[in-house]
Protein backbone atom coordinates (compact mmCIF):
# COMPACT_ATOMS: atom_id res chain seq x y z
CA UNK A 1 0.00 0.00 0.00
CA UNK A 2 1.25 3.49 -0.75
CA UNK A 3 -0.10 6.78 0.41
CA UNK A 4 0.85 10.44 0.26
CA UNK A 5 3.08 11.70 3.03
CA UNK A 6 1.40 14.44 5.06
CA UNK A 7 4.20 17.00 4.49
CA UNK A 8 7.81 17.29 3.32
CA UNK A 9 10.25 14.62 4.53
CA UNK A 10 12.76 15.60 7.21
CA UNK A 11 14.11 12.07 7.48
CA UNK A 12 14.60 9.55 4.69
CA UNK A 13 15.71 5.96 5.01
CA UNK A 14 16.77 4.57 1.63
CA UNK A 15 17.21 0.84 1.05
CA UNK A 16 18.73 0.06 4.43
CA UNK A 17 19.75 -3.53 5.14
CA UNK A 18 21.26 -4.84 8.34
CA UNK A 19 22.19 -8.37 9.41
CA UNK A 20 23.38 -10.00 12.62
CA UNK A 21 25.25 -13.12 11.57
CA UNK A 22 22.61 -15.08 9.67
CA UNK A 23 19.69 -12.98 10.90
CA UNK A 24 18.52 -10.33 8.46
CA UNK A 25 17.11 -7.72 10.81
CA UNK A 26 16.37 -5.20 8.01
CA UNK A 27 16.00 -5.84 4.27
CA UNK A 28 16.07 -2.84 1.98
CA UNK A 29 13.91 -0.71 4.24
CA UNK A 30 12.87 2.64 2.77
CA UNK A 31 10.68 5.15 4.52
CA UNK A 32 10.17 8.85 5.07
CA UNK A 33 9.04 10.91 8.03
CA UNK A 34 7.27 14.16 7.26
CA UNK A 35 8.22 17.29 9.17
CA UNK A 36 6.03 18.12 12.15
CA UNK A 37 4.16 14.81 12.14
CA UNK A 38 3.99 11.65 14.23
CA UNK A 39 5.10 8.55 12.35
CA UNK A 40 4.55 5.24 14.10
CA UNK A 41 6.53 2.12 13.28
CA UNK A 42 4.66 -1.01 14.24
CA UNK A 43 5.16 -4.73 13.72
CA UNK A 44 5.41 -8.01 15.63
CA UNK A 45 8.24 -8.79 18.05
CA UNK A 46 11.53 -9.19 16.24
CA UNK A 47 10.29 -7.34 13.14
CA UNK A 48 13.32 -5.03 13.20
CA UNK A 49 11.84 -1.86 14.73
CA UNK A 50 14.56 -1.26 17.32
CA UNK A 51 17.23 -2.24 14.77
CA UNK A 52 15.83 0.43 12.46
CA UNK A 53 16.04 3.01 15.26
CA UNK A 54 19.62 1.95 15.94
CA UNK A 55 20.47 2.35 12.26
CA UNK A 56 18.90 5.83 12.15
CA UNK A 57 20.61 7.04 15.32
CA UNK A 58 23.94 5.51 14.24
CA UNK A 59 24.42 2.74 16.80
CA UNK A 60 24.33 0.14 14.02
CA UNK A 61 26.04 0.57 10.67
CA UNK A 62 23.83 -0.82 7.87
CA UNK A 63 25.40 -3.10 5.27
CA UNK A 64 23.70 -1.06 2.56
CA UNK A 65 21.47 1.95 2.13
CA UNK A 66 21.48 5.57 3.27
CA UNK A 67 19.94 7.73 5.97
CA UNK A 68 19.18 11.33 5.01
CA UNK A 69 18.37 14.03 7.52
CA UNK A 70 17.11 17.32 6.08
CA UNK A 71 18.44 16.18 2.72
CA UNK A 72 21.94 15.48 4.04
CA UNK A 73 23.43 11.98 4.01
CA UNK A 74 24.26 11.21 7.65
CA UNK A 75 25.02 7.51 7.13
CA UNK A 76 28.67 7.95 8.08
CA UNK A 77 28.18 10.14 11.12
CA UNK A 78 28.66 8.70 14.58
CA UNK A 79 25.77 8.78 17.08
CA UNK A 80 26.87 11.95 18.94
CA UNK A 81 27.16 13.86 15.67
CA UNK A 82 23.66 12.77 14.69
CA UNK A 83 22.37 13.79 18.12
CA UNK A 84 23.96 17.19 17.67
CA UNK A 85 22.19 17.68 14.35
CA UNK A 86 18.89 17.14 16.15
CA UNK A 87 18.18 13.42 16.39
CA UNK A 88 17.23 12.49 19.95
CA UNK A 89 15.84 9.24 21.26
CA UNK A 90 14.61 7.24 24.20
CA UNK A 91 15.27 3.55 24.65
CA UNK A 92 13.09 0.46 24.86
CA UNK A 93 14.56 -0.21 28.29
CA UNK A 94 14.86 2.90 30.43
CA UNK A 95 18.40 4.26 30.19
CA UNK A 96 18.60 6.78 33.02
CA UNK A 97 21.12 7.20 35.83
CA UNK A 98 19.05 5.78 38.66
CA UNK A 99 21.09 7.23 41.51
CA UNK A 100 21.00 10.76 40.10
CA UNK A 101 18.18 13.23 40.51
CA UNK A 102 15.59 13.95 37.85
CA UNK A 103 17.12 17.37 37.26
CA UNK A 104 20.65 16.01 36.80
CA UNK A 105 19.44 13.34 34.40
CA UNK A 106 17.69 15.98 32.32
CA UNK A 107 20.77 18.21 32.32
CA UNK A 108 22.78 15.40 30.73
CA UNK A 109 20.57 15.66 27.66
CA UNK A 110 21.59 19.23 27.10
CA UNK A 111 25.29 18.35 26.88
CA UNK A 112 24.99 17.62 23.20
CA UNK A 113 24.51 21.33 22.60
CA UNK A 114 26.69 23.16 25.12
CA UNK A 115 29.08 25.35 23.16
CA UNK A 116 31.57 25.70 25.92
CA UNK A 117 34.68 23.48 25.97
CA UNK A 118 37.57 23.57 28.41
CA UNK A 119 39.46 26.38 26.67
CA UNK A 120 36.32 28.42 26.35
CA UNK A 121 35.70 27.90 30.00
CA UNK A 122 39.15 29.28 30.86
CA UNK A 123 38.96 32.36 28.69
CA UNK A 124 35.29 33.04 28.67
CA UNK A 125 34.18 31.90 32.08
CA UNK A 126 31.49 34.56 31.94
CA UNK A 127 29.92 32.99 28.95
CA UNK A 128 30.17 29.58 30.57
CA UNK A 129 28.30 30.86 33.58
CA UNK A 130 25.68 32.49 31.42
CA UNK A 131 25.23 29.29 29.49
CA UNK A 132 24.91 27.28 32.66
CA UNK A 133 22.31 29.69 33.95
CA UNK A 134 20.43 29.81 30.67
CA UNK A 135 20.56 26.04 30.54
CA UNK A 136 19.09 25.72 34.02
CA UNK A 137 16.37 28.21 33.31
CA UNK A 138 15.44 26.64 30.06
CA UNK A 139 15.26 23.22 31.62
CA UNK A 140 13.32 24.34 34.65
CA UNK A 141 10.93 26.67 32.95
CA UNK A 142 10.12 24.81 29.82
CA UNK A 143 10.68 21.09 29.99
CA UNK A 144 9.95 20.42 33.65
CA UNK A 145 6.83 22.58 33.65
CA UNK A 146 5.73 21.15 30.36
CA UNK A 147 5.99 17.56 31.54
CA UNK A 148 4.53 18.38 34.96
CA UNK A 149 7.41 16.94 36.94
CA UNK A 150 8.11 19.97 39.15
CA UNK A 151 7.38 17.98 42.32
CA UNK A 152 10.03 15.32 41.63
CA UNK A 153 12.90 17.40 40.27
CA UNK A 154 15.14 16.60 43.31
CA UNK A 155 14.11 12.96 43.60
CA UNK A 156 16.51 10.17 42.61
CA UNK A 157 15.19 8.59 39.44
CA UNK A 158 15.46 5.03 40.80
CA UNK A 159 12.86 5.80 43.48
CA UNK A 160 10.18 6.89 41.01
CA UNK A 161 7.31 4.86 39.62
CA UNK A 162 7.88 3.48 36.15
CA UNK A 163 5.52 5.91 34.37
CA UNK A 164 7.36 8.90 35.78
CA UNK A 165 10.75 7.44 34.86
CA UNK A 166 9.57 7.23 31.26
CA UNK A 167 8.51 10.87 31.48
CA UNK A 168 11.97 11.83 32.77
CA UNK A 169 13.50 10.02 29.81
CA UNK A 170 11.31 12.08 27.52
CA UNK A 171 12.41 15.21 29.35
CA UNK A 172 16.05 14.35 28.85
CA UNK A 173 15.52 13.76 25.13
CA UNK A 174 13.70 17.10 24.88
CA UNK A 175 16.60 18.83 26.61
CA UNK A 176 18.63 18.04 23.50
CA UNK A 177 16.27 20.35 21.60
CA UNK A 178 15.67 17.72 18.93
CA UNK A 179 14.22 18.24 15.50
CA UNK A 180 13.34 14.56 15.42
CA UNK A 181 12.42 12.69 18.57
CA UNK A 182 12.61 8.90 18.36
CA UNK A 183 10.63 7.06 21.01
CA UNK A 184 11.08 3.29 21.39
CA UNK A 185 7.93 1.97 23.06
CA UNK A 186 7.10 5.11 25.10
CA UNK A 187 4.08 3.55 26.82
CA UNK A 188 5.25 -0.07 27.24
CA UNK A 189 4.41 -1.32 30.71
CA UNK A 190 2.24 1.68 31.54
CA UNK A 191 -1.26 1.54 32.95
CA UNK A 192 -4.11 3.25 31.15
CA UNK A 193 -3.81 6.58 32.91
CA UNK A 194 -0.03 6.75 32.43
CA UNK A 195 -0.52 5.84 28.77
CA UNK A 196 -3.05 8.61 28.22
CA UNK A 197 -0.77 11.14 29.91
CA UNK A 198 2.19 10.11 27.78
CA UNK A 199 0.10 10.19 24.59
CA UNK A 200 -0.97 13.74 25.42
CA UNK A 201 2.64 14.82 26.07
CA UNK A 202 3.77 13.34 22.76
CA UNK A 203 1.00 15.16 20.90
CA UNK A 204 1.93 18.40 22.69
CA UNK A 205 5.60 17.98 21.78
CA UNK A 206 4.52 17.80 18.16
CA UNK A 207 1.99 20.60 18.26
CA UNK A 208 3.57 23.11 20.63
CA UNK A 209 7.24 22.49 19.88
CA UNK A 210 6.97 21.48 16.24
CA UNK A 211 9.13 18.40 16.81
CA UNK A 212 8.85 15.54 14.33
CA UNK A 213 8.15 12.29 16.16
CA UNK A 214 9.18 8.79 15.14
CA UNK A 215 7.70 6.23 17.48
CA UNK A 216 7.89 2.47 17.86
CA UNK A 217 4.90 1.21 19.82
CA UNK A 218 2.90 -1.96 20.41
CA UNK A 219 -0.11 -0.22 21.97
CA UNK A 220 -2.40 -0.12 18.94
CA UNK A 221 -5.00 2.11 20.55
CA UNK A 222 -2.38 4.75 21.28
CA UNK A 223 -0.78 4.40 17.84
CA UNK A 224 -4.09 4.76 16.02
CA UNK A 225 -5.14 7.73 18.15
CA UNK A 226 -2.12 9.99 17.79
CA UNK A 227 -0.20 8.99 14.63
CA UNK A 228 -0.38 10.83 11.32
CA UNK A 229 1.36 8.05 9.42
CA UNK A 230 1.89 4.39 10.27
CA UNK A 231 4.60 2.13 8.83
CA UNK A 232 4.38 -1.62 9.34
CA UNK A 233 7.49 -3.79 9.52
CA UNK A 234 7.49 -7.57 9.38
CA UNK A 235 10.60 -9.74 9.13
CA UNK A 236 12.70 -6.67 8.47
CA UNK A 237 10.61 -5.37 5.58
CA UNK A 238 8.04 -2.62 5.17
CA UNK A 239 4.79 -4.47 4.42
CA UNK A 240 2.34 -1.57 4.61
CA UNK A 241 2.08 2.11 5.33
CA UNK A 242 -0.48 4.88 5.31
CA UNK A 243 -2.90 6.71 7.54
CA UNK A 244 -3.88 4.80 10.69
CA UNK A 245 -7.33 3.90 9.36
CA UNK A 246 -5.86 2.58 6.09
CA UNK A 247 -3.23 0.46 7.80
CA UNK A 248 -5.74 -1.07 10.20
CA UNK A 249 -7.77 -2.40 7.28
CA UNK A 250 -4.76 -3.79 5.43
CA UNK A 251 -5.01 -7.60 5.26
CA UNK A 252 -1.20 -7.95 5.24
CA UNK A 253 -1.05 -6.13 8.56
CA UNK A 254 -3.73 -8.20 10.23
CA UNK A 255 -2.13 -11.44 9.08
CA UNK A 256 1.34 -10.31 10.15
CA UNK A 257 0.03 -9.92 13.67
CA UNK A 258 -2.07 -13.07 13.55
CA UNK A 259 0.92 -15.08 12.38
CA UNK A 260 3.28 -13.67 14.97
CA UNK A 261 2.19 -15.54 18.06
CA UNK A 262 1.86 -12.09 19.64
CA UNK A 263 -1.71 -12.16 18.57
CA UNK A 264 -4.18 -11.97 21.37
CA UNK A 265 -4.26 -8.43 22.55
CA UNK A 266 -3.11 -6.85 19.32
CA UNK A 267 -5.48 -8.47 16.86
CA UNK A 268 -8.37 -8.12 19.28
CA UNK A 269 -7.66 -4.43 19.49
CA UNK A 270 -7.26 -4.07 15.74
CA UNK A 271 -10.65 -5.73 15.21
CA UNK A 272 -12.34 -3.94 18.08
CA UNK A 273 -11.30 -0.60 16.61
CA UNK A 274 -12.52 -1.56 13.15
CA UNK A 275 -15.88 -2.50 14.61
CA UNK A 276 -16.16 0.74 16.61
Q: Applying CB under 6 A, does 20 fall inside the site for ligand ATP?
A: yes
Q: Which DSSP category does 155 fall into?
A: S
Considering beta carbons, is residue 155 or 188 the nearer one to Mg ion?
Answer: 188
Sheet with strand 212-216: strands edge to edge: 87-90, 180-184, 212-216, 38-42, 229-234, 237-242
DSSP string, 216-273: E---HHHHHHH-SEEEEEETTEEEEEESHHHHHH-HHHHHHHHTTT-HHHHHHHHHHH
- Binder of residue 63, out of ligand ATP, Mg ion, none (CB less than 5 to 8 A by kind): none
Q: Which residue is nearest to Mg ion (CB)?
A: 50
Determine the size of the site formed for ligand ATP (CB under 6 A). 12
CB of 129 to Mg ion, least distance (A): 42
Binders in 89-148 for ligand ATP, by CB under 6 A: 92
- Binder of residue 116, out of Mg ion, ligand ATP, none (CB less than 5 to 8 A by kind): none
Binding span for ligand ATP by CB under 6 A among 45-53, 69-77, 166-174, 242-250: 45-53
Q: Cβ distance 110 to 175 under 8 Å?
A: yes
Residues 10, 11, 25, 175: which binds ligand ATP (CB under 6 A)?
Answer: 25
Instruction: Name the residues that contact Mg ion, by CB under 5 A.
Output: 49-50, 92
Binding span for ligand ATP by CB under 6 A among 39-47, 104-112, 160-168, 239-247: 39-47
Helix (H, G, I), strand (E, B) or coil at 65: strand
> Alpha-carbon distance 108 to 88, whole Å?
12
Q: Applying CB under 6 A, does 45 fall inside the site for ligand ATP?
A: yes
> Alpha-carbon distance 92 to 86, whole Å?
20
Q: How far is residue 176 CA from its own chain's centroid?
A: 13
- Binder of residue 25, out of Mg ion, ligand ATP, none (CB less than 5 to 8 A by kind): ligand ATP
Considering beta carbons, is residue 50 or 241 the nearer one to Mg ion?
Answer: 50
> Alpha-carbon distance 134 to 128, whole Å?
10
Q: Where on the chain is the footprint of ligand ATP (CB under 6 A)?
A: 20, 23, 25, 43, 45-51, 92
Amino acid sequence: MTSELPGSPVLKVEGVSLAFGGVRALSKVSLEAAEGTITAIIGPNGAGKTSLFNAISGFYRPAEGRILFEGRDISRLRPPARAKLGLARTFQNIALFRGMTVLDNIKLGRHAHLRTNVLDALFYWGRAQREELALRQEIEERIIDFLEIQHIRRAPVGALPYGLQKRVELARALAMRPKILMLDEPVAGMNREETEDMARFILDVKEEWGVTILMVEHDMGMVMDISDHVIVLNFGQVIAQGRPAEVQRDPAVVSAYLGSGDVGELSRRLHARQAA
